[in-house]
Structure 1
Amino acid sequence: MKGFCLIILGVLAILGSVEGDLEMGFYGSSCPKAEKIVQDYVNQHVPNAPSLAAALIRMHFHDCFVRGCDGSVLLNFTSASGNQTEKVAVPNQTVRGFDFIDRLKSLLEAECPGIVSCADIVALAARDSIVLTGGPSWRVPTGRRDGLMSNASEALAQIPAPFDNITILTQKFANKSLDLKDLVLLSGAHTIGISHCPSFTNRLYNFTGVGDRDPTLDSEYADNLRSRKCRIQNDTTTIVEMDPGSRKTFDLSYYALLLKRRGLFESDSALTRNSNTLTFINQLLQGSIANFYTEFGLSMEKMGQIGVKTGTTGEIRRNCAVVNS
C-alpha cells in the first residue's frame, strides 16, 4: 500500500507540472541550459536598453493574440503566395525586439540545434525582462512549437487597438478565453510602456471629426501632450510615456492615472467606464503591490497558453523569421 501511494503521489506531481500540453522544465533533458541562456542574455543586455522590457512583453502579447503563442509575429514571409505577414500589420509596425529574439535563437541553436522554439523564446524573454526591471515573475511552462503561417489581416482584426471601446475590448479578449479581469491586469503592463503620437492624437485634435478633444481626457494632461509632446498630430518619432514619471517602475501608478482621466489611449480610458473593470481597478489600488504582481502573473500565464501548438503540430524553426524549408 505504501508503494502504491508513492506511485500515485509521483503521478500527481508529474500532472501538476503540466499546463495543458505545456510543461514546466520542458527542455530539462533535451536542452538543460535553455532557460538559463535566455535569462543570462536578458540580464546582460536589457539593463543597457530598459525599454526592451516593454517591447518584449508587447511582442509576446501580439504574438499570442493571433494564431496563439506560436511565434507567427516573428515571420518575415511564409510559403503562402502573396501573403503579407503580421509584421507589416499596423499594430505591429512599432513592435521592437525582433533582432533581440534572433540573437537569442542563435545562441540556443548553437547549444541545442532544432530544439527550442521561437515561441518559447519570446515567452521566456518577456518574463525575464519584466523581472529584471523589478516587476513580477510568473510561471512559464514550455513546449510551444512554431506556427507555419502569418497573416497581416488577422493581426489587424484580432489585436486590441488603442482606439477600441470596452465592448470591442471585451469581445477581443473573450475570443482568446480571457475575461475582464485579465483585460485590466494585462493592461497594467502599460505602466512601463511607451507610445507614438498617432496612437492617441485624435483625442487631442479631432476626436469626433470637428477639431475637438476627447472630453473624457483630463484637460491639463491633454494641454501638456499638445504643447510638449505631440505638437504635430501625425508625429511618428516622438516617444510618449504611458505612465509619466514612473515608466521604469512596474507599479500601480498606471491605474491611479486612469482614475485621474489620464489614461493615454481610448482603450485605457475605457477601463474606467465599465462598472466591473472600474471595481477591479479600485481593488488593485486598495491592495498591495504584491497582490498586483501575483494577479498579473496569473493572467500572463493564462495568456501565454492561448492556442499553443504542441506535439507534432507546427515546427521548431531554425530561423525565427522564416519557416523551415
Structure 2
Amino acid sequence: MFFQTLVFAALATTTFSTLTPNYYDYTCPNALSTIRSVVKDAVQKENRIGASLLRLHFHDCFVNGCDGSLLLDSTPSMDSEKNANPNINSARGFEVVDAIKQAVDEACGKPVVSCADILAVAARDSVVELGGPSWNVRLGRKDSKTASRADADANIPGPSFSLSQLIKNFDNHGLNEKDLVALSGAHTIGFSRCLLFRDRIYNDNNINANFAQQLQNICPREGGDSNLAPLDSVTSAKFDVAYFADLTKKKGVLHSDQELLNGGYTSALVKKYRYNTRAFYYDFTKSIIKMGNIKPLTGSQGEIRSNCRKANY
C-alpha cells in the first residue's frame, strides 16, 4: 500500500495533456470496473493474453499516438496496421477488446469509452492480474478514423535493433533511455515467435551457449517460424524482474533485449532493476503513463467508435 501511494503521489504532480484519471466518473462511473472484470476473466482463462493486451497498447501508441488505430481492420482504401511486420501473425487479443467494448457500452448505455482508452486500461489491468503494479490511467483519448500500415512498419522498434537504434526510436516518441529500459521490462511476460529470434540464437555472440541451444531446439534454422519461446525464461506469467536477471546472464531472447546491457546508463538500469523490484515498478508506471500520453486525440479530434474494428462513418 505504501508503494502504491508513493507512485500515485509522484504522478499527481505531473500534468499530462488534457487526459485525466477521472474522465468517465460522471459519464460512465462503471466503465473501469467493467473493463477490469472482462480482463480478469480473459487472463484467468489464458494468462498469455495479459501480455498480448499490454503489447497492443504499446504498438498502438508507437504509431501516430495512442489513438486505437491498431484495432482498425483493413478497408478498400486503408491497409490495417494489423498487417504490418511487427503485428502480422503476432498481435493478438482483438477478440478480448471486442468483448470489453461490448460490455462497457452496455454498462454505459451507449458508446462513451473510446477504444484507445480501453487499450490503456486493459494494459494496466493485465499487469495487475499478473502480479505487477497498478497506476492511475490517464483517460480521455478519442479514436482515430484511419490507420497506416506503413507508419507501423516505420515506427515500431524491431527485434534486431541495436541499442543506438532503440534509443533513437524511443527519442522520436518523446521517451528517454530510462523509459526504454523500464518499458522493455514488459517482456517479463509473454512470448516471442521463432522468426523474431532465429538470427540471434544462431549468429549472436553475446548469448549464453546453453540457452542458445535450448532455443535452437524450439527454433530450427529453417521452418517453425511460429514456434514460441517465453521472453522471461523463469516466470513468463508473472510481472516481475526475472527478465532483467536473464539479461545479466546473456539470456535475452531478442537481440534488442540483450542490447540493453550494451551501454553505460541502460546497463546500469538493467542491473538495478534486477535486484530492486520496487524501483522497476515505480519507473515502469511512470514510463507507461508517459507513453500513454503520446499524441492523444482529444476534444473535437477523432471519435468514439461504436465498433473498435471500424470507423463510424
Same fold (TM over 0.5): yes
Query: 2:209: which partner in 1?
Result: 219
Cα pair 2:195 2:226 within 8 Å, conserved: no
Selected match of 2:281 from 284, 289, 293: 293
Secondary structure of the residue aligned to 1:35 is helix
| Distance in structure 1 (CA, Å) of the matches to 2:249 and 2:271 | 12
Selected match of 1:55 from 31, 41, 52: 52
Cα pair 2:34 2:107 within 8 Å, conserved: no
Selected match of 1:280 from 260, 269, 278: 269
| Distance in structure 2 (CA, Å) of the matches to 1:17 and 1:196 | 38
| Distance in structure 2 (CA, Å) of the matches to 1:218 and 1:44 | 37
Query: 1:90: which partner in 2?
Result: 85
Secondary structure of the residue aligned to 1:23 is coil
The question of 1:114 aligning with 2:118 is answered: no
Residue type matched to 1:106 in 2?
Answer: Q
| Distance in structure 1 (CA, Å) of the matches to 2:101 and 2:260 | 37
**Distance change in 2, residues 1:109/1:202 (3 Å):** same
Return the offset for 1:25: 1.2
Cα pair 1:117 1:316 within 8 Å, conserved: yes
**Distance change in 2, residues 1:280/1:88 (3 Å):** same
| Distance in structure 2 (CA, Å) of the matches to 1:82 and 1:203 | 37
| Distance in structure 2 (CA, Å) of the matches to 1:97 and 1:164 | 25
Cα pair 2:69 2:147 within 8 Å, conserved: yes
Rg larger in structure: 1
Query: 1:46: which partner in 2?
Result: 43
1:105-184 to structure 2, matched below 5 A, reads 105-112=101-108, 113-184=110-181
Secondary structure of the residue aligned to 2:192 is strand
| Distance in structure 2 (CA, Å) of the matches to 1:16 and 1:224 | 47
Q: Which stretch of the first structure deviates more once superposed, 149-158 or 110-119?
A: 110-119
Secondary structure of the residue aligned to 1:38 is helix
| Distance in structure 1 (CA, Å) of the matches to 2:200 and 2:228 | 17
| Distance in structure 2 (CA, Å) of the matches to 1:216 and 1:319 | 46
Cα pair 2:42 2:49 within 8 Å, conserved: no
Return the offset for 1:18: 6.0
Q: Deviations over 1:83-135 (max 9, x none)?
A: 31211001011011001001111112223212110000111011001101111
| Distance in structure 2 (CA, Å) of the matches to 1:215 and 1:122 | 37
* Structure 1 residues without counterparts, runs of 5 or longer: 1-14, 206-212
Return the offset for 1:177: 0.4
Work out the number of aligned pairs and report it.
300
| Distance in structure 1 (CA, Å) of the matches to 2:74 and 2:302 | 16
Cα pair 2:68 2:116 within 8 Å, conserved: yes
| Distance in structure 1 (CA, Å) of the matches to 2:201 and 2:26 | 55
Cα pair 2:38 2:99 within 8 Å, conserved: no
RMSD of the alignment, in Å?
A: 1.5
**Distance change in 2, residues 1:156/1:142 (3 Å):** same
| Distance in structure 1 (CA, Å) of the matches to 2:190 and 2:181 | 15
The question of 1:302 aligning with 2:290 is answered: yes
| Distance in structure 2 (CA, Å) of the matches to 1:266 and 1:45 | 30
Identity of aligned residues (%): 39
Q: Deviations over 1:218-254 (max 9, x none)?
A: 211111111x211343313321011112111211111
Deviating above 4 A after TM superposition, structure 1's stretches of 4 or more consecutive aligned residues are 15-18
| Distance in structure 2 (CA, Å) of the matches to 1:47 and 1:318 | 27
| Distance in structure 2 (CA, Å) of the matches to 1:18 and 1:257 | 35
**Distance change in 2, residues 1:87/1:223 (3 Å):** same
Secondary structure of the residue aligned to 2:65 is coil
Query: 2:304: which partner in 1?
Result: 316
Secondary structure of the residue aligned to 2:66 is coil
* Structure 2 residues without counterparts, runs of 5 or longer: 1-11
Cα pair 2:141 2:298 within 8 Å, conserved: yes
Cα pair 1:17 1:23 within 8 Å, conserved: no
Q: Deviations over 1:188-207 (max 9, x none)?
A: 011112011000101233xx
